[in-house]
Amino acid sequence: MKSLEDIMAMAQNVQAELTKAQATLDTIEVEGASGGGLVKVRASAKGRIIGVDIDESLLAPSEKGMLEDLVAAAFNDARAKADAASATEMSKMSSGLPLPPGFKLPF
């Protein structure tokens, strides 16, 4: 069995790696799109929205309902891509750590 010092050192290493991974996530950019690219949302892998681009053809008052649906779909697409990028980065970080099978980070 490992000593308490070894366990504490491993815990500190996990914390440091997690902090580093979280910082990296905010630098990874993903783009969600809908309506064949008419609406685009850029976000960080951490989920922070960076920008929204809406094609001018959708700015007519008669397109309001469709535009609202497309913006929501683009946000959801960006969120899904951010989650995937986050999972990829976290798996890279945790691959070298002695974690039990099925253990997920962040906690």
Q: Which residue has the higher pLDDT, 11 or 85?
A: 85
**Residue 40 — pLDDT band, cuts 50, 70, 90?**
very high
> Residue 5: enclosing H or E segment and its boundaries?
helix 4-25
Distance CA 5, CA 9 (A): 6
Taking CA atoms, 93 is separated from 22, 40, 47, 89, 102, in Å, by: 10, 29, 19, 6, 15
Question: What's the pLDDT tens digit per position in 50-95?
Answer: 999 999 999 999 999 999 999 999 999 999 999 998 888 877 766 6
- Residue 87 — φ and ψ, nearest 5°? -60, -40
CATH superfamily of 24-92: Nucleoid-associated protein YbaB-like domain (3.30.1310.10)
| Domain map (residue ranges) of the chain | 24-92
Q: Which residue has the higher pLDDT, 79 or 106?
A: 79
What integer pLDDT is reported at residue 66 of this predicted model? 93
Tell whether the model's pLDDT for residue 23 goes beyond 70: yes
